[in-house]
Amino acid sequence: MAKTHRFFSHHAHEFLRVAACTPVASVGDIAANAAATIALAKRGHAEACDLLVFPELNVTSYAIDDLHLQDAIQRATDAALAEIAAATAKLKPVLLVGAALTKDGRLYNCAVAIHRGRILGVVPKSYLPNYREYYEKRWFTSGYDVVEDDIAVAGQIVSFGIDLIFTASDLPHFIFHAEICEDFWAPIPPSTYAAMAGALVCCNLSASNVVIGKSRQRMLLSAAQSDRAICAYVFSAAGPGESTTDLAWDGQGMVHELGELIAESARFENDPELLVADVDCGRVRQERMRNGTFHDTARAEGLAPGSFRRVTFEAKPDFADVGLRRDIRRFPFVPNTPEKLDADCYEAFNIQVTALAQRVVAAKAERLVIGVSGGLDSTHALIVAAKAMDRLGRSRDHILGYTMPGFATSEGTKSNAWALMRALGVAGDEIDIRPAAEQMLADMRHPFADGKPTYDVTFENVQAGLRTDYLFRLANQHNGLVVGTGDLSELALGWCTYGVGDQMSHYAVNAGVPKTLIQFLIRWCIRTDQYDAETDRVLEAILAQEISPELVPAGADGALQSTESKIGPYALNDFFAHYIVRHGMAPSKVAFLALKAWEDASRGRWPRDFPAAARTAYDLPTIRGWLEKFLFRFFTISQFKRSAIPNGPKVSAGGALSPRGDWRAPSDGTAKPFLDELDANLP
Ligand SMILES: Nc1ncnc2c1ncn2[C@@H]1O[C@H](COP(=O)(O)OP(=O)(O)OC[C@H]2O[C@@H]([n+]3cccc(C(=O)O)c3)[C@H](O)[C@@H]2O)[C@@H](O)[C@H]1O
Ligand SMILES: Nc1ncnc2c1ncn2[C@@H]1O[C@H](COP(=O)(O)OP(=O)(O)OP(=O)(O)O)[C@@H](O)[C@H]1O
Ligand SMILES: NC(=O)CC[C@H](N)C(=O)O
């Protein structure tokens, strides 16, 4: 059911609804093409689109050869544009239609922007293909030097040139540019300049005949242009109905954003298609802000702000709930297709192994020292260490694994720890930390020493601290490096014991890996036979247990100390961390995205092997509750822990938290502005 609060509107979060339109063309039948354009515009309006991109020369159809030069065709084109403008005067979307227009005895291949009955402006094609199957220079004049000009079209005098950017006066993120087909096959597409001058959405009206391999090439160019020009890119190629005299057409529509494919059309279809997608102009804006090279290039190219003419119009947004036409992955760090997941795991695992091996060599360390709890993090650190030793040609017994049971260590995790160490062939040992912990707690006059069940932070950290103490001294004793096991998610939350505790190590091999990815990395290791069958069996057993720090004894009901019931589901925490750290998004937008990703467990793809029983949904109050906790932990109470973390490799493009890398922040900051923003903008 649609909700009325502004929070539920995609426009409130800087999304823009675009569509690549594929009408069925009628060769040279301008009235039919105008009718097809109007019909799709009405569909676009019904689907709440802001911007509709039609193919190149769709008013006449593209492949009409010398007919382009006929007066009758040109007059009919002008009349059709007037008709399209009139018929769409009450519709919401801006239309970019393709038409050949004359000025001063020259014919230009143009994109015509039309909105609510008004022709906003006309952009001529800069680069006319005139090689192999193309001979556009036979009819058209290149528009590459047309600037500061105007043109008469459909009874209106409007801005004309390649120096136009279209901007909504009442929706600040609605800023777009148009170019035409070959323009983006050029070494420097006009959209590169438009993006540097501020366009967030770049559009391409195309008539690109299909040959084997062509769709892949267009896909590559569109992805690359959106990545290089830091923009959203909407591409619409002519399709069914175009003249097949000597060529064929497939109607490829695509929407890319920052190199990522957001939506793609069916190809070789007989019916008209409207490929609708919501592009995230806020993400584009943020990305430009944090990429100085983009602005340096603009300055190097002499593109001062204002170097393009801005054509303004009123979008009249109503901030209604029209849903979100875009897949938001539940796990930003975990791809939901098997191929991409495998590829990412291969990268992550090898980054970790290579980085650790290099540090062993550089530090002239003979051994690696690891506290092996039987939990996910230390398991992963241990298998990475084993592979690093294999790569260095050293035997695995150069890894000293210690299981160090404390007051709450369960038999299950301890036996898993031993089974794993034996299966891998590392040098295992056991140190019972309880006598030392009892001594320490007694020395401190902690109530536990008097038999009282006081399981406070001190009680927890005494154990975490003693384990770290043992590991560092064992490293001295054996010329070893202590391998840190803490992961990226724990660093984001400050879920570790500072200094004399698991926050410290000689090399934090997991610090760049989020918790939600670790289980998939372990699964990938099993699937790709990185280790032997017995190791795989133990790894499966470890994957099956709940995440617990095991610092506090189980309750009377036997329930384990559950980490996620205390700090929130890692699935949500990783989601929050990704959008806040990597994309700088406001908490209300992060909540909106989390809702779209998580509100319906039956929608969208789950990552491969994600257990069916764990496929949960989260509603807005739940998301909000955990987000508030996350914001408090992340901004107020944990930065001092990150400001002093040991070295470790960045793994995910989704962000890292080293103070020497992606994330630098004050250790005495506050979450207040973030909590206030959430409070002000959520229903
Ligand atoms: N801005 C700041 N600059 C410098 N120091 C600051 C500080 N804010 C607090 N402090 C000081 O830091 C200390 C608190 O930090 P800390 O000693 O780390 O202790 P704290 O963060 O209070 O507790 C550690 C938490 O992490 C959990 N943990 C620990 C280990 C492993 C795992 C796991 O599951 O993997 C979980 C554990 O259950 C506990 O809830 C206090 O003494 C405080 O005064
Ligand atoms: N019983 C134990 N024996 C050996 N080392 C331990 C033990 N408990 C904790 N550690 C060490 O302290 C680190 C943090 O422990 P904790 O179990 O609290 O966190 P965790 O993030 O759940 O890690 P893991 O998934 O490895 O258990 C572990 O990764 C491990 O290196
Ligand atoms: N219409 C055009 O500009 C087509 C040229 C383009 N290079 C293509 O291969 O599709």
Sorted by where each begins, the domain ranges of the chain are 14-313, 338-681
Residue 231 pLDDT exceeds 90: yes
Q: Is 596 among the catalytic positions?
A: no
Q: What is the pLDDT of residues 132-144, one digit of tens each?
A: 999 999 999 999 9
* pLDDT above 60 (res 1): no
pLDDT score recorded for residue 559? 65
Residue 636 Cα to ligand 2 middle (Å): 25
What pLDDT band is residue 654 in, cutting at 50, 70 and 90? confident
Q: Which of 21, 49, 110, 181 is catalytic?
A: 181
Is 125 catalytic? The answer is yes
Is 486 part of any known ligand binding site? no
Record the tokens describing residue 271, joined without a space.
Answer: 């019916």
Q: Is the pLDDT of residue 351 over 60?
A: yes
Distance from the CA of 128 to the center of ligand 2, in angstroms? 64
**Annotated binding residue 461:** yes
Distance 379 CA to ligand 2 centre (A): 9
Ligand nearest to the CA of 670: 1
- Judge whether 131 is annotated as a binding position: yes
Q: Is 498 annotated as a binding residue?
A: yes
Q: Residue 304: its pLDDT value, please?
A: 78
Sign of CA dihedral 221, 224, 229, 232: positive
Instruction: Tell me the average pLDDT across 640-658.
Output: 95
Query: What's residue 232's pLDDT?
Result: 99
Query: Among residues of the chain, what percentage have pLDDT more than 70?
Result: 98
In the predicted model, what is the mean pLDDT of the chain? 96
Looking only at the bridges linking them, the beta strands covering 309-313 and 164-168 are parallel
Asked if residue 3 has pLDDT above 90, the reply is no
Amino acid at the residue 62: Y
Instruction: Indicate the SS3 state at residue 497.
Output: coil
Candidates 3.40.50.300, 3.40.50.620, 2.40.30.20, 3.40.190.10; CATH matching 338-681: 3.40.50.620
Which atom of ligand 3 sits closest to the CA of residue 206?
1
Pairing status of strand 164-168 against strand 175-180: antiparallel
- Residue bearing the CA closest to ligand 3, atom 6: 182
What is the residue with the minimal CA distance to atom 29 of ligand 1?
496
CA–CA gap between residue 648 and residue 221 (Å, rounded): 35
Tokens 């207040």, residue located: 672
309-313, 434-438, 557-561, 637-641: the lowest-pLDDT one: 557-561
Smallest CA separation from ligand 3 atom 4, residue: 208
Query: What are the pocket residues of ligand 1 if the criterion is a CB atom closer than 6 Å to any ligand atom?
Result: 457, 460-461, 464, 490, 494-498, 501-502, 549, 551, 563, 640, 667-668
pLDDT at 554 over 80: no
Catalytic residue among 56, 182, 287, 628: 56
* pLDDT single digits (tens) 562-579: 788 899 999 999 999 999
Specify the pLDDT at position 412: 80
* Selected residue with higher pLDDT from 547 and 222: 222
Nearest ligand 1 atom to alpha carbon 490 = 35
Tens digits of residue pLDDT in 106-129: 999 999 999 999 999 999 999 999
Ligand number nearest CA of 633 is: 1
φ, ψ of residue 509 to 5 degrees: the values are -70, -25
Q: Whose CA is nearest to atom 1 of ligand 3?
A: 207
The upper half-sphere exposure of residue 526, i.e. CA atoms within 13 Å in the direction of its Cβ, equals 19
143 carries a ligand binding annotation: no
For residue 477, what pLDDT is reported? 98
Q: Which two tokens stand for residue 503?
A: 């926050």
The answer to whether 65 is annotated as binding is no
| Tokens found for residue 156 | 């209106």
pLDDT digits (tens, 9 = 90+) for 580-637: 999 999 999 999 999 999 999 999 999 988 888 889 999 999 999 999 999 999 999 9
pLDDT over threshold 60, residue 539: yes
378 CB less than 6 Å from ligand 2? yes
**603-634: burial string, b at 16+ Cβ within 10 Å, e else:** eeebbbebeeeeeeebebebbbebbbbbbbbb
Q: Which of the ligands is closest to the CA of residue 561?
A: 1
Nearest CA to ligand 3 atom 10: 208
What's the pLDDT score for residue 108? Answer: 98
Tell me the ligand closest to 182's alpha carbon.
3
CB 328 within 8 A of CB 597: yes
The predicted pLDDT at position 562 comes to 79
Q: Whose CA is nearest to atom 16 of ligand 2?
A: 549
Q: How confident is the model at residue 655 (pLDDT cuts 50, 70, 90)?
A: confident
What's the 542 CA to ligand 2 centre distance in angstroms? 13
Domains 14-313 and 338-681 share a fold: no
Q: Which of 149, 159, 89 is nearest to 120 (CA)?
A: 159
Q: What residues line ligand 3, using a CB cutoff of 6 Å?
A: 56, 129, 134, 181-182, 185, 207-208
- Does the beta carbon of 510 sit less than 6 angstroms from any atom of ligand 2? no
Instruction: Choose which residue among 378, 444, 487, 496 to substitute to test ligand 1 binding: the one with the highest number of ligand atoms within 8 A of its C-beta.
Output: 496
Residue nearest to atom 18 of ligand 2 (CA): 549
Q: Is 374 annotated as a binding residue?
A: yes
Look up residue 642 and give its two tokens: 């990150």
Which residues have CB under 8 Å from 380's CB, separation 6+?
485, 510, 513, 518, 521, 522
Tokens linked to 653: 């493009």
What pLDDT is stored for residue 377 in this prediction? Answer: 97
Per-residue model confidence as pLDDT tens digits over 50-98: 999 999 999 999 999 999 999 999 999 999 999 999 999 999 999 999 9
Start-to-end C-alpha separation, the chain: 15
Nearest CA to ligand 3 atom 5: 182
> Ligand 1 pocket: which of 456, 459, 495 to mutate (most atoms <8 Å of CB)?
495
Q: 416 CB under 6 A from ligand 2? A: no
Q: Rounded to an integer, what distance in angstroms lies between the CA atom of residue 469 and that of residue 474?
A: 9
Q: Would the annotation count 214 as a binding residue?
A: yes
Domain 14-313 top-level CATH class: alpha beta
Question: Residue 298 in 3-state DSSP?
Answer: helix
181 is a catalytic site residue: yes
pLDDT of residue 347: 98
> Which tokens hold the place of 362?
């550089």
Q: According to the model, what pLDDT value does residue 2 have?
A: 65
Share of the chain above pLDDT 90, in %: 93
